[in-house]
A and B are shown apart, each in its own frame.
Chain A
Amino acid sequence: MAERIIIDARGSFCPGPLMELIARLKYGAVGEEFEVLSSDKGSANDIPEWLHKVGHEFLGTREEAGVWHIALRKTK
């Protein structure tokens, strides 16, 4: 399995983790996996919500020491 691309958005109030993800996905290839690191617990809800709406695959969320790791696969 190819290595996940890490998007380290810890401490990003603006533009914020979801906006960082949207920007970075433009340059990703279909099938590539990403992991967003966020210090905002709201990301655990709003990123999966957006992925569901757009149709990318949500692979799961885990929390470690106040950092949320949200994994996904670009599908289109």
Chain B
Amino acid sequence: MKILIIGGGMGGTILANNLARRLAAEIRSRKVQLTMLTASDKHMYQPGLLYLAFGRMTPDELYRDQASLLEPGIELQVDPVETFELDKNQVKTKGGKTHAYDILVIATGSRPVPEMIPGLAENAEQFYTEESALKMFRSLQAFQGGRVVIAMGVPHKCPMAPLEITFMLHDYFKDRGIRDKVQLHYTYPVGRVHSLENVAKWAQPEFDRLGITYETLFNMKEVDGKNKVVRSEEGTETKYDLLITIPVHKGMEVIEKNKLGQGGFIPTNKTKLTMEGHSNVYVIGDTTNIPISKAGSTAHYQAETLGENIAAIVKLGQPVREHDGKVFCFIECGKDRATYAMFNYTNPPDPKPPSRAIHWFKMAYNKLYWTSARGLL
């Protein structure tokens, strides 16, 4: 049986390692062939970009060689897919190879596309790539005071990022001794300060306590860099001296080009994790169109369910469980306090008051991530 995983991000890597362990005997006896096709020989710890923007991590801390993260039974090829031929159970790569499969897993992720909003890419800072996070760090260092506006695109990766960046900006300017010269203004697309009701109930009084102003039902329409104004779809506008954005995201271009899903997000069954209309094609992580957080944690738990199910298909001929939509997200609440939100398809989160202990656990997780990617944690 040929199992083909497309994508070497968090979901693809955890799944590959999970399967390599569960199917070690089958791989050794060549009953199973497990192959990963990916676009890069490097693996990035994406949550580290938030810290890069504040000078609290350096770029070298974000990367490991992809090959070093994988179990020996996995065949890694750094050769991205260009064409999906799902009717023939095969894909074609940039390098000109054709890979047939019995089971295909698509875990290609998502990408920030600030250019979808006129004026945003040229006038806003963001931290979703190494280059942009370093640029944001330099802009923050040079900033001496004024109005900082935080604005989101929809959908975006990491739903906690808007809150995290805002709380961290508060502490950053406080530490520099210029918080009284900075007005922090937070905007959010829906009618409360976070999509999760319980998180919003906790965050709004925190904003009030810290003197952070906020405006809800604000969806960016355009940025007027000349007049330093962001205008919303709702007809309002707000002025800024420094604009920080969580940009709108799309799925990867190859998904759009192959017409697998609108915006690059593939229609996916939320409990089976199968691509709609294809029983041997699975989708995990940001690539799905499941109405769930686009986050590494989402991909992590989906990969664990899918690892169990694909191994069961090999050994028993059928999957053994449905995915419950579990997500666990840390929420940094400044430079030294954090909380978390844990929820699934049926149980909402109930975040606890922030503490130093959870912040230090998050700091530890920044290092433990590599263990997690190897499928050990």
Contacts and interface: CB of A to CB of B under 8 A. Distances in A.
Given A16-B190, A23-B154, A53 B349 contact: no
A18 to B, nearest CB: 5
B327 interface: yes
Contacts of A26: 116, 154, 248, 263
A56 to B, nearest CB: 10
Interface string B338-372: 00010101101100000000000000000000000
B349 A13 contact: yes
Interface stretch (B42-50, B133-141, B170-178, B191-199): B191-199
B213 to A, nearest CB: 19
A54 B248 CA distance: 18
A13 B160 CA distance: 13
Contact of A19 (B116, B189, B262): B189
B234 A53 contact: yes
Interface in B204-256: 217, 219, 233-235, 248
B159 A14 contact: yes
A11 interface: yes
B325 interface: yes
A7 B195 CA distance: 17
A12 B233 contact: no
A54 B234 contact: yes
Given A13-B343, A13-B348, A22 B219 contact: yes
Contacts of B217: 49-50, 53
B292 interface: yes
A16 B196 contact: yes
A57 interface: no
B293 interface: yes
Interface in B257-310: 262-263, 270, 291-293
Contacts of A7: 291
Interface residues of B, number: 30
Interface in A22-43: 22-24, 26-27, 42
Given A13-B196, A14-B196, A15-B159, A20 B291 contact: yes
Contact of A50 (B190, B341, B343, B348): B190
A50 B155 contact: no
A41 to B, nearest CB: 12
B233 A54 contact: yes
Nearest to B327: A14
Contacts, number: 77
A12 B345 CA distance: 6
B159 A18 contact: no
A22 B191 contact: no
Interface residues of A, number: 24
A72 interface: no
A26 B293 CA distance: 18
A14 B191 contact: no
A11 B346 contact: yes
Interface in B153-176: 154-155, 159
B191 to A, nearest CB: 5
Nearest to B347: A13
B183 to A, nearest CB: 24
A46 interface: yes
Nearest to B270: A11
A22, A27, A46, most chain B CB atoms within 10 A: A22
B329 to A, nearest CB: 8
Nearest to B234: A53
A17 B291 contact: yes
B190 A46 contact: yes
B13 to A, nearest CB: 24
B154 A15 contact: yes
Interface of B: 116, 154-155, 159, 189-191, 195-197, 217, 219, 233-235, 248, 262-263, 270, 291-293, 325, 327, 341, 343, 345-346, 348-349
26 contacts: A8-B291, A11-B291, A11-B346, A12-B292, A13-B196, A14-B196, A14-B293, A14-B343, A14-B349, A15-B154, A15-B155, A15-B293, A16-B195, A17-B291, A18-B191, A19-B190, A22-B154, A22-B190, A23-B154, A23-B155, A23-B263, A26-B116, A27-B263, A49-B191, A50-B191, A50-B234
